[in-house]
């Protein structure tokens, strides 16, 4: 007959094993979800960003005084599917001769179901429900030339 402390210790270990198993199972489901739907989500974002950039250009067609060369801003987006994340890097080049400023942020895939896969700002927790919402968030600093 095992002592009570051994039974408690064994029960605690079983509970820890169950928690680890559930966490691993959840991570596996998320990885499958990202693998299956993540590329589609990023393709939808790319299409939306392309559309929004063209629409912004059309708003100022032929108006060079509104969008001079400086201050300039660029955005580089680098998906990392193995980490279920997307790295974003802004580069702002001011017109006063100072060196460019770089800002970085990370977006992560969030959601449990195929219909709910979304992007979330890793630092703030802000969730972007649609490609339109994420495009607005990402492009506003590029269009204005001002960091967030």
pLDDT band at residue 67 using 50, 70 and 90 as cut-offs: low
pLDDT higher than threshold 90 for residue 65: no
Give φ, ψ of 130 to 5 degrees.
-135, 160
Domain parsing of the chain, residue ranges? 4-144
pLDDT of amino acid 78: 93
Q: What is the pTM of this model?
A: 0.73
Residue 91 to residues 12, 45, 71, 72, 83, Cα–Cα distance (Å) = 51, 20, 10, 8, 23
Whether the CB-CB separation of 110 and 104 falls below 8 Å is answered with no
pLDDT higher than threshold 90 for residue 137: yes
Enter the tokens of residue 106: 């990370």
CA 83 remoteness from chain centre: 11
């Amino acid at each position: 007959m095992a002592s009570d402390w051994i039974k408690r210790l064994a029960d605690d270990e079983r509970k820890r094993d169950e928690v680890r198993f559930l966490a691993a199972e959840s991570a596996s489901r998320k990885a499958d979800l990202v693998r299956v739907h993540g590329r589609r989500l990023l393709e939808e974002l790319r299409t939306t960003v392309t559309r929004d950039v063209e629409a912004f250009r059309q708003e100022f067609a032929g108006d060079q005084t509104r969008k001079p060369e400086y201050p300039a801003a660029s955005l580089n987006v680098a998906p990392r599917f193995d980490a279920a994340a997307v790295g974003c890097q802004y580069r702002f080049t001011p017109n006063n001769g100072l060196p460019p400023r770089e800002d970085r942020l990370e977006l992560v895939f969030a959601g449990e179901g195929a219909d709910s896969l979304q992007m979330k700002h890793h630092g703030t927790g802000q969730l972007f429900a649609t490609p339109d919402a994420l495009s607005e968030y990402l492009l506003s600093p590029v269009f204005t030339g001002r960091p967030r």
